[in-house]
């Protein structure tokens, strides 16, 4: 057993539909058959059993880290990995309510199929975003609907899944349409200023289950992420134009700014709340985001 590679398996049973870890024995068997020594821990926030502490404990020892949970759980694991002296392979068994990130990587939502990918999949090195002092896998966003994912009650998400996000978004529609934030945005080839109802830096075509960038050529390993800004509407007619553009994925609308960026800075007149990978990301007036090229290698269903 001494020559076996260590696989650290972290399970968040409270994520998404509460099904993380249901097939843990099958996963352990697959890892064992592949030559790994599985080390399994539950993630329990507020205790010694957090992603950050466990990942740090196995720095330089684990050659594979398996995360079973939602996108928020994966965010914590990835952030801890970015601080490791030696970053191992990462595998993800999605158990959240939307699983945007997994979908883009060809990781299935079925636990047994995802466990198969974790052991037998193709390694793929993807770009990680850094927002001020925190990292994200696939999105940092502000404005309308950005807080729906982290503000939606966990019990509601457990029962209804993605429908819970839709219900929450509809309930907040009046105040979201009235929301606007005055910002100045700077990138290498763009400087613009205005009032915005939404802004995001994405590494996924799907955000919160909504395929905002379905028609865009989103590559997760090109050293860039997609910047999308939606200007605040002045009347009901402009609201309808914005909704239509979003419905069909028209990023060339006059109300939408779309760019590929490797670095962007947001300056706002007041503290602005951000969400990172579906969780609360803090408030800031100045927000710097940069792309770290191919920072993490994950097991995926991608071929080639």
Same domain? For 70 and 151 the reply is no
Q: Is a pLDDT exceeding 70 seen at residue 76?
A: yes
Same domain? For 40 and 153 the reply is no
Q: What would the mean pLDDT of 71-100 be, rounded to a whole number?
A: 89
pTM: 0.84
Domain that holds residue 267: 135-292
Same domain? For 115 and 139 the reply is no
Q: How many CA atoms lie within 13 A of 100 on its CB side?
A: 26
Same domain? For 144 and 113 the reply is no
CATH number of the structural domain spanning residue 279 = 2.60.200.40
304 lies in a domain?
Answer: no
- 3 state SS for 123-185: EEEEEEEEECCEEECCEEEEECCCCHHHHCCHHHHHHHCHHHHHHHHHHCHHHHHCCCEEEEE
Q: Render pLDDT for 153-206 as a digit per residue (tens, 0 to 9).
A: 445 444 434 443 343 444 444 455 556 789 999 998 889 999 988 888 988 765
CATH number of the structural domain spanning residue 51 = 3.40.50.10330
Same domain? For 115 and 147 the reply is no
Same domain? For 287 and 142 the reply is yes
Same domain? For 215 and 243 the reply is yes
Q: Is a pLDDT exceeding 80 seen at residue 118?
A: yes
Q: How confident is the model at residue 95 (pLDDT cuts 50, 70, 90)?
A: confident
230 lies in a domain?
Answer: yes
Same domain? For 146 and 66 the reply is no
126 lies in a domain?
Answer: no
77 lies in a domain?
Answer: yes
Same domain? For 97 and 195 the reply is no
How many separate domains does the chain show? 2
Which of 90, 120, 150 terminates a domain? The answer is 120
Q: What would the mean pLDDT of 41-62 be, rounded to a whole number?
A: 94
Q: What would the mean pLDDT of 2-24 be, rounded to a whole number?
A: 75
Q: What pLDDT shows up at residue 20? A: 53
* CA dist., res. 77 & res. 75, Å (int): 5
297 lies in a domain?
Answer: no
């Amino acid at each position: 057993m001494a020559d076996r590679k260590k696989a650290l398996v972290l399970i968040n049973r409270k994520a998404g539909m509460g099904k993380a870890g249901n097939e843990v024995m099958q996963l352990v068997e697959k890892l064992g058959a592949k030559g790994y020594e599985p080390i399994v821990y539950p993630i329990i926030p507020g205790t010694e059993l957090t992603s950050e502490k466990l990942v740090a404990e196995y720095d330089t020892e684990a050659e594979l880290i398996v995360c079973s949970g939602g996108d928020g759980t994966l965010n914590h694991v990835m952030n801890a990995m970015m601080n490791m002296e030696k970053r191992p392979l990462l595998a993800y068994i999605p158990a959240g309510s939307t699983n945007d990130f997994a979908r883009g990587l060809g990781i299935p939502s079925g636990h047994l199929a995802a466990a198969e990918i974790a052991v037998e999949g193709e390694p793929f090195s993807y770009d990680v975003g850094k927002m001020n002092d925190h990292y994200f896998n696939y999105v940092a966003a502000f404005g309308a609907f950005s807080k729906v994912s982290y503000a939606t009650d966990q019990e509601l998400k457990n029962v209804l899944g993605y429908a819970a996000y839709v219900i929450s978004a509809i309930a907040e529609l009046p105040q979201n349409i009235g929301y606007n934030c005055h910002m100045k945005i700077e990138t290498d080839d763009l400087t613009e200023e205005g009032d915005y109802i939404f802004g995001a830096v994405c590494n996924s075509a799907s955000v919160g289950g909504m395929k905002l960038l379905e028609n865009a050529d989103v590559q997760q390993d090109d050293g860039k992420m997609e910047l999308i800004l939606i200007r605040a509407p002045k009347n009901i007619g402009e609201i309808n134009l914005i909704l239509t553009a979003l419905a069909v994925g028209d990023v060339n609308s006059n109300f939408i700014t779309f760019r590929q960026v490797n670095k962007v800075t947001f300056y706002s007149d007041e503290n602005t709340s951000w969400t990172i990978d579906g969780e609360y990301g803090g408030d800031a007036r100045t927000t710097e985001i940069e792309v770290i090229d191919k920072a993490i290698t994950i097991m995926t269903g991608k071929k080639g």
